[in-house]
Amino acid sequence: MLELCWVLYREKQKERVVKNMLEKVEEFNMEKVIQEFETLTKDAGRVQRETLKRILEDNASAEYLQNLGLNGRTDPESFKACVPLVTHKELEPYIHRIIDGDTSSILTGKPITTMSLSSGTTQGKPKYLPWNDELFETTMQIYQTSFAYRNREFPIKNGKALSFIYSSKQFKTKGGVAAGTATTNVFRNSRYKREMKALQSQCCSPDEVIFGPDFFQSLYCHLLCGLIFHEEVQLVSSVFAHSIVHAFRTFEQVWEELCTDIKQGVLSSRITVPSIRAVMSKLLKPNPELANLIHAKCVGLSNWYGLIPELFPNAKYVYGIMTGSMEPYLKKMRHYAGELPLLTADYGSSEGWIAANVNPRLAPEFATYAVLPQIGYFEFIPLTQLENNDASSSFLSIDLNPVGLTEVKVGEEYEIVITNPAGLYRYRLGDVVKVMGFHNSSPELKFVRRSSLLLTINIDKNTEADLQLAVEAAGKVLAEEKLEVVDFTSHVDLSKEPGHYVIFWEINGEASEQVLGECCNCLDRSFVDAGYTSSRKVNCIGPLELRLVRRGTFQKILEHYLGLGATVSQYKTPRCVGPTNPTVLQILTDNVVKTYLSTAFN
């Protein structure tokens, strides 16, 4: 029965890829999607082998695979024996050939005609990644699965969604290949638009706002659309939590202008893009009653707590990716959301999707993601292997021995290796996850951190998670003056001996010298890694430095990445600024207003 189900599933998937791009989307069947997921995860090992076989069969003619000597074999053992673990660096020569117009079968059986760009916030510049219809299909499978489980718990019907989503334009590389950010390639797909209308409430904002060329004008109009349809809004969402927080911080600044627009029925002069002005002018009509209601609500709020349910009384939850580098924004998210639930979105990357949130009632801090075994082939490198691997040796050490999807152990941490339908084979994603349990036979993962060390000078090893904990601890000291950290990042300063950590903070007001000095000491004390504390005590690492930057500095960093072609939908604040992004370091340095040195280990 299971084998027949799998055969039917494969045939169904092929039909979708070939036909569904242009077909009318049928009414969404929530229970059918749940049942399909339950069936596939009951024998995840078998589904994984079939998924690998499908990927290798479809791409058997690819030059990359042929050169590795697979000779048409599709079993996991041959695959692992012939195909090496790689990072993006090893695939760049092949990807650049595609970008330059080589239409032969290089990484995939069929030519790649579209490239996705990563955000670039981790490495300092965007990466080009192959994109094809099969990868889009996996995206829709993730969306459908998570929506089915989410909507079972929090039903949404006949309403609208205030979605802070933004899409840049696709462009052509010099070789004629279409390119855009990963979110752009999804948002601009006609099938995505149709299916998302079937899956959830219709977006408040017209396409002209979503695809507008100016992020700031689009954001203003997203807010305006939400207010116009305030009673119909049933959920507030964005790709990342950062975008939601940024949107309502912006609202705090422009709410009176928005009320004036609604009252007079005339769009603000700040909106200059003709297509946006035209579509918004059709939506906007004089409505003094609504303007007065919004004004009264804003005046009556205490420090903007519960702003979202106050503005949108029928909203049922707030939705977006809230784990990993988004966790620092949870406190502010909860402030704006009040009693509304926060639901974290699915787990994936620009390279491809991995797992869906099928337990939506879990708070973001405890969220787990169940791997969809049919959307890619997954391997897991035990973290103990990485820790024992000499950091000075090749990142692709032959000593690494990944395990399969169903071979992982509960409580253990692993780095994910992905093989997808778009030409990434045994690709080291760089994410570390912890196995929290199993959904049937498919693991449920908790995102832990990026595998690369964030801060290290001597024998210290502090990750993004360690940095976040330190900032949270120091933030409690700052809260004594009713202030908060707007955003933060870090830097390892080796310009003089001994090297030391630098933490950049942007805060939302003026704090006393005494409190900021204590914040600096608290940051230093909160890095509890034994290598760090022992190195600090013997002065092999110098005193931590807290550099306060002026308001709007992290906005300038965002603008810098937007200028490089990133979209706000993919933007993540870089948590460690090093040699790969000197422009960001210069922006931070140019905007420092105060500096403090720790005395914690004196």
Strand order through the sheet with 500-507? 485-493, 500-507, 545-549, 592-597
Would you state the structure tokens that stand for residue 266, as one six-digit string? 């005339």
pLDDT band at 79 (very low <50, low <70, confident <90, very high): very high
What pLDDT is attached to residue 551?
94
- Predicted TM-score of the model (pTM): 0.84
Rg (CA), the chain: 25
Do 306 and 407 reside in the same domain of the chain?
A: no
How remote is the C-alpha of 210 from its chain's centroid? 18
What pLDDT is attached to residue 17?
44
Instruction: Kindly tell me the burial class for residue 111, based on how many C-beta atoms sit within 10 Å of its own C-beta (0-12, 13-18, 19 or more).
Output: middle
Count of other CB atoms within 10 angstroms of residue 528: 11
Distance (Å, whole) CA 565 – CA 125: 10
Q: Is there a contact between 529 and 462 (Cβ–Cβ < 8 Å)?
A: yes
Q: Which of 26-30, 36-40, 476-480 is least confident?
A: 26-30
Do 289 and 267 reside in the same domain of the chain?
A: yes
**β-strand pairing of 347-349 with 413-419:** unpaired
Do 468 and 544 reside in the same domain of the chain?
A: yes
Query: What would the mean pLDDT of 12-36 be, rounded to a whole number?
Result: 61
- For the chain, the domain total comes to 3
pLDDT band at 544 (very low <50, low <70, confident <90, very high): very high
Which run of H or of E encompasses 318? strand 317-321
Which residue carries 């809230």 as its tokens?
322
Q: Is residue 404 part of a domain?
A: yes
Q: Is residue 148 part of a domain?
A: no
Would you state the structure tokens that stand for residue 210, as one six-digit string? 């979503």
Distance (Å, whole) CA 183 – CA 203: 16
What pLDDT is attached to residue 393?
38
Question: Per residue in 222-239, is it b (16+ CB within 10 Å) or e — as a string?
Answer: bbbbbbbbbebbbbbbbb
Q: Is there a contact between 567 and 170 (Cβ–Cβ < 8 Å)?
A: no
Q: Is residue 433 part of a domain?
A: yes
Do 178 and 302 reside in the same domain of the chain?
A: yes
Do 277 and 164 reside in the same domain of the chain?
A: yes
Which amino acid, residue 39?
A: T
Contacts of 308 (CB under 8 A, 6+ apart): 236, 248, 315, 318, 336, 337, 338, 340
Query: What would the mean pLDDT of 77-92 be, rounded to a whole number?
Result: 95
Do 468 and 556 reside in the same domain of the chain?
A: yes
Query: What would the mean pLDDT of 590-600 be, rounded to a whole number?
Result: 95
Which run of H or of E encompasses 258? helix 241-264
Which amino acid, residue 183?
A: T
Who wins on pLDDT, 108 or 200?
A: 108
Task: Give the dihedral sign, CA 147/150/155/156.
Answer: negative
Query: What would the mean pLDDT of 440-464 be, rounded to a whole number?
Result: 87
Distance (Å, whole) CA 515 – CA 477: 7
Strand partners, 319: 237, 343
The Cα-based distances of 155 to 158, 200, 203 in angstroms read: 10, 10, 16
Strand partners, 455: 462
Strand partners, 594: 548
Mean pLDDT of the chain: 88
Q: Which of 257-261, 392-396, 493-497 is least confident?
A: 392-396
Do 477 and 542 reside in the same domain of the chain?
A: yes
Distance (Å, whole) CA 303 – CA 300: 9
Q: Is residue 358 part of a domain?
A: no
Do 584 and 484 reside in the same domain of the chain?
A: yes
Do 564 and 433 reside in the same domain of the chain?
A: no
Do 327 and 224 reside in the same domain of the chain?
A: yes
Q: Is there a contact between 379 and 406 (Cβ–Cβ < 8 Å)?
A: no
> Does 213 have pLDDT greater than 60?
yes
Do 207 and 266 reside in the same domain of the chain?
A: yes
Q: Is there a contact between 153 and 196 (Cβ–Cβ < 8 Å)?
A: no
The Cα-based distances of 596 to 316, 480, 523 in angstroms read: 44, 18, 11
Tens digits of residue pLDDT in 385-434:
876 654 433 444 457 899 999 999 999 999 999 999 999 999 999 899 99
Q: Could you tell me if residue 324 is left (phi over 0), alpha (psi between -120 and 50 degrees) or otherwise beta?
A: left
Q: Is residue 586 part of a domain?
A: yes
Instruction: Check whether the bond before 328 is cis (ω within 30° of 0).
Output: no
Query: What would the mean pLDDT of 310-317 be, rounded to a whole number?
Result: 96
Q: Is residue 559 part of a domain?
A: yes
Task: Please give the full DSSP string across 398-463, using - where no structure is assigned.
Answer: TT---EEGGG--TT-EEEEEEE-TTS--SEEEEEEEEEEEEETTEEEEEEEEESS-SB-SSS--B-
Tens digits of residue pLDDT in 141-153:
999 999 999 999 9
Of 276, 267, 284, nearest in space to 209 by CA: 276
Distance (Å, whole) CA 425 – CA 108: 10
Q: Is residue 144 part of a domain?
A: no
Q: Is residue 24 part of a domain?
A: no
3-state secondary structure 184-206: HHHHCCHHHHHHHHHHCCEECCC
Name the residue range of residue 414's domain: 45-132+376-391+399-451
Distance (Å, whole) CA 11 – CA 9: 5
Do 426 and 519 reside in the same domain of the chain?
A: no
Q: Is there a contact between 565 and 181 (Cβ–Cβ < 8 Å)?
A: yes
What pLDDT is attached to residue 2?
47
